[in-house]
Amino acid sequence: MARIVDVAREAGVSTATVSRVLNGKDVNRELAAKVRSAVENLGYIPDRTARSLRRGASDVVALVLPDIENPFFTAVARGVEDVLHGAGYSVVLCNTDDDPGKEGRYLGVAEHENMAGVLIAPASGQPQLDALLDRGRAVVVLDRQVERPVDQVAFDNQALGERCARELLASGFHRIACITGPVGTRTAIERASGWSRALGAVGVDAPEDLLVHANFRVDGGYEALAHLLDLPEPPDAVLATNNLVGVGVLRALADSHVALTGHGRGDSAGAPVPGGAVGVGIIGDLPFATSRTTDVHLVPLNPRALGTTAAQLLLERLTDPGSPVRSIVQTVAPVGARH
Amino acid sequence: MARIVDVAREAGVSTATVSRVLNGKDVNRELAAKVRSAVENLGYIPDRTARSLRRGASDVVALVLPDIENPFFTAVARGVEDVLHGAGYSVVLCNTDDDPGKEGRYLGVAEHENMAGVLIAPASGQPQLDALLDRGRAVVVLDRQVERPVDQVAFDNQALGERCARELLASGFHRIACITGPVGTRTAIERASGWSRALGAVGVDAPEDLLVHANFRVDGGYEALAHLLDLPEPPDAVLATNNLVGVGVLRALADSHVALTGHGRGDSAGAPVPGGAVGVGIIGDLPFATSRTTDVHLVPLNPRALGTTAAQLLLERLTDPGSPVRSIVQTVAPVGARH
DNA sequence: TTGTATGCGTTATCAG
DNA sequence: CTGATAACGCATACAA
């Protein structure tokens, strides 16, 4: 394996000069050329470990996610990797299962491995970022905002909830339920608040019994829908605030032999018929749906773009640690989407 | 940040002794106790970077996968991470998109980053493992076997194909098509061969025009099914050899308004009716199916277990580099599965 | 600009 | 069994 000394010898210069060439410092053009050809000849690639030790920080970035089996987050991961691999960083995926304890452990690992930075979609509202921030590590929070001065990227969740609810209203549904995530999850709260707001805007108070907090997974949506169908006055439509909850809702409908419909009855009079058709709105996508979803009101997100944006923010933070903190809100996709 | 010298001073010993205690070498009990309490007091955690530089290998393992957005592989990743994180290793996910070029680049990175080992589901039949193996790095091939003396874990793919085809035969289907992956992908070939064999066992030659090679993604299954339905004599059932192809098949059926049925007509006489119901068998699972899949003949896999097995193999290789190479074939789940 | 020499934090060698 | 010290490979302060 070629080392920097080998390159130095081959090029007839010192290791310092080789290092400078490789790191873009000012070096005499001729010497630089010699160095480059020596690097080429020997197939020299710098040892990242030594470089990390010397620099005090590695070229690894931790991507800390609540659920790596959720296609939303795998798409985020792809966006992140596209950007960071291109910039010479490696990405380590960490799965927290939405458990603050696990999350804390991973953040500790990131700290003690001297990782260059951390991208995190926090499990709780208070991820333990202090140690990392105190040490000046680059940190970007994504998808779920936190109340701290730290770089962030997220969707406008309230707008998403509002828009999805509005689509359902516009399709003639009246009694619209909302199945959202845990009360401790910020995206869940915000999207539900958008639903509530949309209903308020047409003079309907969001009925408390139609707001269900579930977990943000398939079983959460499934059970929540079963519960809603059992109500004395069941809803005529359901808004699922994330993709997996949406899957659970659709599956529960199929299992209950309740039809899915894209349009409500439109007559403001009648209550929904128990056992009749139900409308469904979902914030997010259905990547592996096995049937057509033309009757589902999807408000698509772009998790991959969320990932690329977050990664770019991290790169900028790495190059300019002193720049002011930025909080970016991804705008909601402009086009009305009925897939 | 506490360093090893700080611990040494606090405990009144040399750094060498601290290192020995931390690495489980023989040390006087009293001194060891002092060291441990000093470690505790200072909250000392060894710098992995320095350790890696000194040891010549890091504690990072690369997990090289063809498609990180396929739930099959994310499940593999979870299995791998469960085991390796528990053993003190970090896992870096690398996505090759089934592109041998990308794969080669990642393997190069793994080599030059001095990673402890590599777990790989190869994109091609000849992944470039020589450099890693020559340097004595631990390598485990998973899911897709290669013709080399290297540790491997895979399913019995032919048995899987055979079993799925048999289920369809047992349900009364006669003209069974097979949609499998690219000709260059070993699992695709083997599972198709199982299908062929099952048909042969009941005296039916596997019709060439009913074997379709697609890519192993949703669009592959979708297009392949459309093609099959257009045949002069369409099949009455389809065997999808992986999960995503299965999703594509189901989606195509839904889009074509072709019904899905669990049972064939059973009368050996008639050819399938064009536009009539079609049976579906899938090797793998449908994690995010949005409708009931009771009529689908699923042959479930356990990708997470594949991951844990592969990771354990890697750990054993790391601790005992000289042990003989092992090739493990995961047995097919025993119970007949009709979900 | 270039070279020399030192240090990053840990582990392994070697002498005691 | 323990301690002093060299070495892993690279980047930088300092001197030239």
How far is residue B242's CA from residue B248's CA, in Å, rounded to a whole number?
Answer: 10
How far is residue B46's CA from residue B15's CA, in Å, rounded to a whole number?
Answer: 12
Q: How far is the CA of A130 from the C1' of D16 (A)?
A: 45
Cβ of B112 and A48 within 8 Å? yes
Q: Are A114 and A52 in contact (CB under 8 A)?
A: yes
* Longest Cα separation, chain A: 90
Q: Is the pLDDT of residue B135 over 90?
A: no
A73-to-A66, A87, B69, B75 alpha-carbon distances in Å: 8, 21, 9, 14
Per DSSP, the three-state class of B325 is coil
Mean pLDDT, range B158-185, rounded to an integer: 95
Q: How far is the CA of A51 from the C1' of C9 (A)?
A: 13
**Residues 6+ away with beta carbon under 8 Å from A269:** none
Q: Are A100 and A123 in contact (CB under 8 A)?
A: yes
Q: How far is the CA of B28 from the C1' of C15 (A)?
A: 19
Cβ of B95 and A75 within 8 Å? no
Q: Looking at beta carbons, which residues of chain B come within 8 Å of A289?
A: 247, 251, 288-290
How far is residue A135's CA from residue A124's CA, in Å, rounded to a whole number?
Answer: 22
**Residues 6+ away with beta carbon under 8 Å from B274:** B229, B234
User: pLDDT-based confidence at B270, cuts 50/70/90?
Assistant: very low
From the alpha carbon of B54, which nucleotide's C1' atom is closest?
D8
User: Mean pLDDT across chain B, nearest whole number?
Assistant: 90
Q: Are A96 and A103 in contact (CB under 8 A)?
A: yes
Q: Are B34 and B12 in contact (CB under 8 A)?
A: yes
Interface test mutation site (partner A, options B49, B70, B114, B249, max chain A beta carbons within 10 A): B49
Contact of A55 with chain B, judged by CB distance below 8 Å, is answered with: no
User: pLDDT-based confidence at B266, cuts 50/70/90?
Assistant: low
How far is residue A250's CA from residue B228's CA, in Å, rounded to a whole number?
Answer: 29
Q: Are A299 and A332 in contact (CB under 8 A)?
A: yes
E strand or H helix at A113: none
Query: Which residue type, as a one-letter code, is found at position B43?
Result: G
Per DSSP, the three-state class of A234 is coil
User: pLDDT-based confidence at A206, cuts 50/70/90?
Assistant: confident
User: Mean pLDDT across chain A, nearest whole number?
Assistant: 90
Number of H-type helices and E-type strands within chain B? 12, 11
Q: How far is the CA of A31 from the C1' of D7 (A)?
A: 29
pLDDT of residue A270: 47
Per DSSP, the three-state class of B265 is coil
User: pLDDT-based confidence at B315, cuts 50/70/90?
Assistant: very high
Cβ of A95 and B112 within 8 Å? no
Q: Closest Cα of chain A to B334: distance in Å? A: 26
Cβ of A93 and B95 within 8 Å? no
Q: Is the pLDDT of residue B196 over 90?
A: yes
Q: Looking at beta carbons, which residues of chain B come within 8 Å of A112?
A: 45, 47-48
pLDDT of residue A275: 53
Residue nearest to nucleotide C11 (CA to C1'): B54
Per DSSP, the three-state class of A32 is helix
Q: Looking at beta carbons, which residues of chain A come within 8 Å of B52?
A: 49
- If you count residue pairs, one on A and one on B, with CB atoms under 8 Å apart, how many are there? 120
- Indicate the residue of B49, B68, B255 with minimum beta-carbon distance to A53: B49
Per DSSP, the three-state class of B312 is helix
Structure letter (DSSP) for residue A117: E
Q: How far is the CA of B61 from the C1' of D9 (A)?
A: 21
How far is residue A252's CA from residue B51's CA, in Å, rounded to a whole number?
Answer: 52
Please spell the DSSP secondary structure of B84-123, one letter per residue: HHHTT-EEEEEE-TT-HHHHHHHHHHHHHTT-SEEEE--S
pLDDT per position as a tens digit, A133-155? 988 899 999 999 999 999 999 99
Cβ of B291 and A254 within 8 Å? yes
Burial status of residue A174 (CB atoms within 10 A of its CB: 0-12, 13-18, 19 or more): buried
pLDDT per position as a tens digit, A57-94? 888 899 999 998 999 999 999 999 999 988 888 888 88
A310-to-A39, A142, A225, A307, B281 alpha-carbon distances in Å: 34, 7, 34, 5, 41
Mean pLDDT, range B33-40, rounded to an integer: 97
Contact of B136 with chain A, judged by CB distance below 8 Å, is answered with: no
pLDDT of residue A339: 39
Q: Which of residues 146-175 of A touch B (CB under 8 A)?
A: none
E strand or H helix at A138: strand A138-142
Per DSSP, the three-state class of B13 is coil
